[in-house]
Amino acid sequence: MAEELNPFKIAQAQFDEAAKKLGLEAPMCELLRWPRREYKFTIPVKMDNGKTKVFHGYRVQYNDARGPNKGGIRWHPDETIDTVRALAAWMTWKCSVVDIPLGGGKGGVTCNPKELSEGEKERLARGWMRVIARELGEHRDCPAPDVYTTPQIMAWMMDEYEAIVGRSHPAVITGKPLELGGSQGRGDATARGGIFTVREACKILKIDPAKATYAIQGFGNAGQFAATLHKEILGGGKLVAVSDSSGGIYSAAGFDPHDLVKWKLEKGSVTTYPKAEKKISNEELLELPVDVLYPSALENVITKENAAKIKCKVSCELANGPTTPDADVILHKAGIHVIPDFLANAGGVTVSYFEQVQGTYNYYWKLPDVQKQLDEKMTSAYHAVYDMHKKQNVHMRLAAYMVAVKRVADAVRLRGWV
Ligand code: GLU
């Protein structure tokens, strides 16, 4: 039978398995397997050629039992209500697994940002905010960056929101530029948080991270920072392969991550990097026998078709949804240690939470304080999940779900919803 690849159906199937293991009652299951609210809207934008183009936008508020909804906005050609629903569900479990007092949400626009000018992006950002502003706010729902959305886009959105409500409101959105109330350490937080979990996994698995080989699939914000921070935080390691949407490159001797990031930022793709030994495909990269693999692009790259060929020891999922449920079972049986997405990449939203707190108090923290608190959150979340994995003898993703879903269910019960 063909494998289910609709991200929301996958998110529901993952939840169902955890709910069954936790013995949740039927109404609780029904409540938690669906978003509480969802908005689908149109955004008319005046394009540079003088014509109006109508974009389709989304915001899904999945669950706010533990606190206001929180989650990024993706601008992607393949965005649909179901990708946004899945990502909103994952945000709910993500905020819960790191134990921050927030719920889950996600937004999106179906568009190809590579085809938009700066002016068109600004009008699209402001247009998105104009439609949905009344449903947002730091006590209601707080967006942030995600695939193809940037601190600049957050700045335009905050500015539009403030113009609508008529007062300063830095905590309405996170991932802003530092000059406008962004937090120190937000830029690399997703990758940094993931590497803290790899550090803990390496201790348990007795892998020396300073000697480990690693490969990165996807070279956007998270992938680029993972490349440099792996060495910086873990005291070494050899980056042998990297890919982006145009393809990948390999070097047995290892790449200089800083040089490679510079190339990517200047030239747009790693595939033309002159110091590569050979070109490889994204699929080949995933199958390399490395110690640590960082899937850092999009959903459904490790499926039942290729899972048996994956040879890493640790898969640290900086992307959301890279592994399908069938693939999870195959990786688990093969003894591959998966640090599941909503744990591995929770560093981003954790520092977003710090940014929201700082914005609300109008008092800003120093970088070492942000990084120390991030380390504490990620380390304790990793061990909570690892302990559940050992105690219940379930794979790491199911363990993460069990930790996260239980906390949300407890909040729902205490509120008297179920
Ligand atoms: N988009 C990021 C994520 O998927 C960050 C969300 C946030 O900071 O609110 O976790």
Asked about 267 being catalytic, the answer comes back as no
Amino acid occupying residue 38: E
Locate the domains of the chain by residue range. Answer: 37-171, 189-344
pTM over 0.85: yes
CA of 236 to the centre of ligand 1 (A): 28
- Site residues for ligand 1, CB cut-off 6 Å: 70-72, 94, 144, 146, 174-175, 320, 345, 348-349, 352
Question: Phi, psi (5° rounding) for residue 176?
Answer: -80, 165
Residue nearest to atom 9 of ligand 1 (CA): 71
User: Quick one: pLDDT at residue 354?
Assistant: 98
User: Quick one: pLDDT at residue 295?
Assistant: 98
Tell me how far apart the alpha carbons of residues 339 and 175 are, in angstroms, rounded to a whole number: 24
Q: Which CATH superfamily is domain 37-171 in?
A: Leucine Dehydrogenase, chain A, domain 1 (3.40.50.10860)
Asked if residue 393 belongs to a known ligand binding site, the reply is no
Asked if residue 352 belongs to a known ligand binding site, the reply is yes
Task: Write out the two tokens for 25.
Answer: 């009652």
Q: How far is CA 180 from CA 68, 281, 400, in A?
A: 22, 40, 34
CA of 275 to the centre of ligand 1 (A): 33
Tell me how far apart the alpha carbons of residues 185 and 343 are, in angstroms, rounded to a whole number: 18
Q: What is the pLDDT along the chain (418 residues), one digit of tens a residue?
A: 788 899 999 999 999 999 999 999 999 999 999 999 999 999 999 999 999 999 999 999 999 999 999 999 999 999 999 999 999 999 999 999 999 999 999 999 999 999 999 999 999 999 999 999 999 999 999 999 999 999 999 999 999 999 999 999 999 999 999 999 999 999 999 999 999 999 999 999 999 999 999 999 999 999 999 999 999 999 999 999 999 999 999 999 999 999 999 999 999 999 999 999 999 999 999 999 999 999 999 999 999 999 999 999 999 999 999 999 999 999 999 999 999 999 999 999 999 999 999 999 999 999 999 999 999 999 999 999 999 999 999 999 999 999 999 999 999 999 999 9
Q: Do 37-171 and 189-344 share a fold? A: yes
User: Quick one: pLDDT at residue 163?
Assistant: 98
Beta strands in 19-76 (DSSP E): 37-46, 52-63, 69-76
Farthest-apart Cα atoms in the chain, separation: 62
CATH architecture of the domain 189-344 equals 3-Layer(aba) Sandwich (3.40)
Asked if residue 278 belongs to a known ligand binding site, the reply is no
Amino acid occupying residue 321: G
CA of 52 to the centre of ligand 1 (A): 30
Candidate from 73, 76, 91 with most ligand 1 atoms within 8 A of CB, to mutate: 91
Amino acid occupying residue 126: R
Indicate the DSSP class of residue 139. Answer: T
Task: Write out the two tokens for 186.
Answer: 């937000």
Residue given tokens 């699209």 in the structure block? 124
User: Quick one: pLDDT at residue 418?
Assistant: 97
Question: Phi, psi (5° rounding) for residue 234?
Answer: -95, 0
User: Quick one: pLDDT at residue 1?
Assistant: 73
Q: Are 181 and 157 in contact (CB under 8 A)?
A: no
